[in-house]
Amino acid sequence: MNPVFPQALLDNTPEADIISFLLFALPRTFSARELGVRLNLRPNKLLDSLERLVEGGQLSMCSRGSINYYKLNQKHKFYPDVKEALTRKANKAYEDELVTAIKKLGVSGAYLSGLFVGKPELAVDMLLIGSVKSSRLHQFIGACEHMMGQEINYCIMEEQEFITRQNTFDRFIKDIFDYTNIPVVELVSKKKKK
């Protein structure tokens, strides 16, 4: 790859739009469907741009089944330069509809894992802590699955159960927090002292 700074990443191109969006969004994976809707890009143009960015190393890609998910590669050698340039140029954050929807659920804790962090092989994609009406939860999960293009693996548990399982080093909870996760709603008191 040519070591010259990739000016095309800063110009008004679909690649620039994708990089800019991912730079200011929550550092999670996005399906092509979600990126297309958020950036108003036609599928063919979007897929060509995503392919070029993956080939160039600016994006990392993971798959579950036949669906690909994309995330900004923060280890790419040009990442610091592109971030600085785009921050000066745009200086805006994007509202993540997933985060907004999770916060509206009123849960006391919410963590993204698995598919959302580029590790589709993990058992849980989303851990929710607290109480949510069944109908509201099903509507929320249905919207998430539509956005991601497939079923997501989620777990919901009451706060006391979570604290008890965390304090007893429960394998299920330990597996979630031993790997990369994104706290969306941080449970204030993760562990209660005995």
pLDDT at 3: 39
Domains of the chain (ranges; CATH) run 7-89 (1.10.10.10), 97-185 (no CATH)
pLDDT at 93: 61
Check pLDDT > 90 for residue 64: yes
Dihedral class, residue 178 (left if φ above 0, else alpha if ψ from -120 to 50, else beta): alpha
Show the tokens assigned to 14.
């679909």
Q: What is the largest CA-CA distance in the chain?
A: 58
- Answer whether 21's CB lies under 8 Å from 110's CB: no
pLDDT tens-digit profile of 115-139? Answer: 999 999 998 999 999 999 999 999 9
pLDDT tens-digit profile of 10-49? Answer: 666 888 889 888 888 888 999 999 999 989 999 889 999 9
- CB contact set of 92 (below 8 Å; sequence gap of 6+): 24
Check pLDDT > 80 for residue 112: yes
- Answer whether 33's CB lies under 8 Å from 147's CB: yes
- Answer whether 60's CB lies under 8 Å from 118's CB: yes
Cα radius of gyration (the chain): 18
pLDDT tens-digit profile of 145-179? Answer: 998 999 999 999 999 999 999 899 898 898 888 88
Residue type, position 1, single letter? M
pLDDT tens-digit profile of 74-88? Answer: 887 777 777 676 666
- Answer whether 130's CB lies under 8 Å from 109's CB: yes
Task: Kindly indicate the confidence band of residue 141, based on its pLDDT and cuts at 50, 70 and 90.
Answer: very high
DSSP strands (E only) in the chain: 30-31, 59-64, 67-72, 109-112, 126-129, 154-157, 182-185
Task: Kindly indicate the confidence band of residue 193, based on its pLDDT and cuts at 50, 70 and 90.
Answer: very low
- CB contact set of 176 (below 8 Å; sequence gap of 6+): 111, 113, 122, 124, 127
Nearest to 129 by CA among 176, 68, 87: 176
Show the tokens assigned to 45.
């143009």
- Answer whether 111's CB lies under 8 Å from 181's CB: yes
Could you say which DSSP state residue 180 is in?
A: -
**More confident call, 72 vs 87:** 72
pLDDT at 154: 96
